[in-house]
Amino acid sequence: MNPIITADELLSESAGARPPVLLDIRWQLSTAKAAGAAPFDGRAAYEAGHIPGAVFVDLDAELAGAPGTSGRHPLPDVDAFGAVMRRAGVRADVPVVVYDGGQGWAAARAWWLLRWTGHQDARVLDGGLAAWSGPLSTDIPRPVEGDFKPVPGAGLLDAEAAAALARSGLLLDARAGERYRGDVEPLDRVGGHIPGAVSAPTTENVSPDGRFLSPQDLTARFRALGATPDTEVGVYCGSGVSGAHEVLALAVAGIPAALYAGSWSEWTQDESRPVATGPDPQ
């Protein structure tokens, strides 16, 4: 199943006999708080206008646990995540479409969680709300309680598995190149990357309008980075958000990949873990 959906396809499906459940995951990674500015308010953006019928889900509060030794956006408690999805109307046998403001990272986090916990029909709106040409609504829906019960499956790496995969397969670092090299590090204790990981910035998976490159172009990109048909692939980022977007890009290319959800913000919590710097993976 194609893991993304176009705005035209969503408009058509929403008017059909089996409309998808819509989840609005507007969120932005921001250093505004450290600078004394107000952080981005996704709920306020949602309330100002959203795709009709969409339910807002808060990434920080509902798609992540409390920051700590497991990283800045550790995975949420599975039962709590299931309760959030059911309150949003998610059912096991009904398609789900998630979107954000256009960057795609937050929507991909929700998509990855749904797929990891067993939902068989979750997709991301390609290009996010910016690609939507239909009407917007300020009505806050009250959906009927869903029945989705999350059951975690494969596709999740911990720190040890990520380190091993960097040696035995392909571990992609989805952060910006300057953070991978350790030139700058605005968020975590130290800059650099997991030894053996290959730099693969998420931003290079999309066109300037935020839509994914074609499956053919993505396949060529990942093949050039070392993702052969026989290669086990994993991804990490800063805290498991943009990394989910890279897993989604790999899925568009037909390449399965696991996510190290704790990512760099967890890796660097343990000062005994090795750190590589510069452009060389090692």
Active-site residue, selected from the candidate residues 125, 237, 252, 259: 237
Minimal CA–CA distance to 55: which of 25, 17, 16? Answer: 25
Quick one: angle between helices 242-252 and 105-116, nearest 10?
70
82 assigned to active site: no
CB-count burial class (<10 Å; 0-12, 13-18, 19+) for 125: buried
Minimal CA–CA distance to 107: which of 91, 87, 127, 90? Answer: 127
Q: How far apart, in whole angstroms, are the C-alpha atoms of residue 99 and residue 15?
A: 18
- Contact partners, residue 137, CB within 8 Å, separation at least 6: 49, 50, 51, 52, 53
Q: How far apart, in whole angstroms, are the C-alpha atoms of residue 19 and residue 173?
A: 36
Minimal CA–CA distance to 200: which of 234, 154, 153, 232? Answer: 234
According to DSSP, the β-strands at 21-24 and 4-5 are unpaired
Q: Are 190 and 184 in contact (CB under 8 A)?
A: no
User: Catalytic site residues?
Assistant: 237
